Structure 1
Amino acid sequence: MLGVRLHQTAFYESMTSTLFKVAPVQLERLGSYQNISTCSKSTLTSWLLVRGVTDSISFNRKLKWLLYEGHRAEFAALAQILSTMSEAGRKQYINSLAEQDKQKNKLICVDQFMNILTPASIAAFDFAQLTALYKIGSRMRLTGRKEARSFSLEAAQIAQSKYNSWHEYYSACIAGSYFESPPADLSSLKPRYVQKLLEATRVHPPIQWDRKLK
């Protein structure tokens, strides 16, 4: 049982690594899944607040949203709109939007990423957040430890079913992070994405992607 738990923890650590490294808001001493067990509860509270979680009700609402809808739903909807246009048509459509249009920057992200991601799109980003949220929720007593372990395993297994490798998963997770919070300078979006992907894949994860977790 201990060996299985160690493998699961190693997998969750790898699942969430890009989530913490690419996050638009970097919190002190919360740079990895492992840090969740040791950083201050005030730091965890700040992390939760950024994601709209203030109590057990909003915690469970967020979990359900990430599991069944998530950022991937909006990404897919915008990708569907752009997929009906030619490349030139997409550029013209996006450029025609007002600068204050909240969807403009997200459409730019979708245009950059939609043709380089797998069919699972940015689901990896949602499942990385789920995994971190379960761990944080357990420590903050928003959910039980047993429930957190069970649902973390479920999130990991769903992710394994959607992607074929850590490279595919990291590619999607990084794209999802930029989709949620596009950089101010969107001309640097693709170079930033490539750099973060190189950093994520430079060191091979300590556990194989297709490792059986149960």
Structure 2
Amino acid sequence: MSRQLSYHEQVEVFARLRAANPQPKGELEHLNAFTLLVAVALSAQATDASVNKATRDLFPIADTPQKMLAIGEEGLIPYIRTIGLYRNKAKNVIRLSELLVERHGGEVPSSRAALEALPGVGRKTANVVLNMWWGFPSQPVDTHVFRVSNRTGVAMGADVVAVERGLENHVPVEYQQLSHHWLILHGRYTCVARKPKCPTCLIRDLCTFEEKTPE
């Protein structure tokens, strides 16, 4: 069982993560706010690599809601067929494009409530767009962030909303803008699900996870 890190431990954790990667970036490829929104919506239960592979041909010809609507649902499906749940996602992308045109003049809104009102856009997707495009220090919680936050003691919580609140409450403010990038990358490449790479982890001595992978 992990314990919640103290404020000074939090500072040290994120200072080390920042020193190792000063400007972390999301791995989903996008051209603008609309393509970021679509990419994140498509990434639900799919890898960033699979989404990037599908959207490299799609986004150059459909980088606005209007252009996406011109392609239509049946025209969109061939581009995203390799992504899980592609039929439902195609419906959502076309419908959210319609609503962006109808309600927001074709622009992506900067309100969480407005974003979450769009089909296929949940709290995590809204938080990613708010953070990466609008520069708001929101805390998107995916499976990597959830696992790393609980394991290390950065933010403890039984569900994603509790972890999101924990990150808002415990991560020092100077690190909040980029904290989810550091946590995602740490979870993707070091603090992996089945056999975390504890021997090479740069925050091993601060992490409160008791079942560390031995040397």
TM over 0.5: no
TM-score category, normalised to shorter length: under 0.3
TM-score normalised by L of structure 1: 0.27
Q: Greater CA radius of gyration, 1 or 2?
A: 2
TM-score normalised by L of structure 2: 0.26
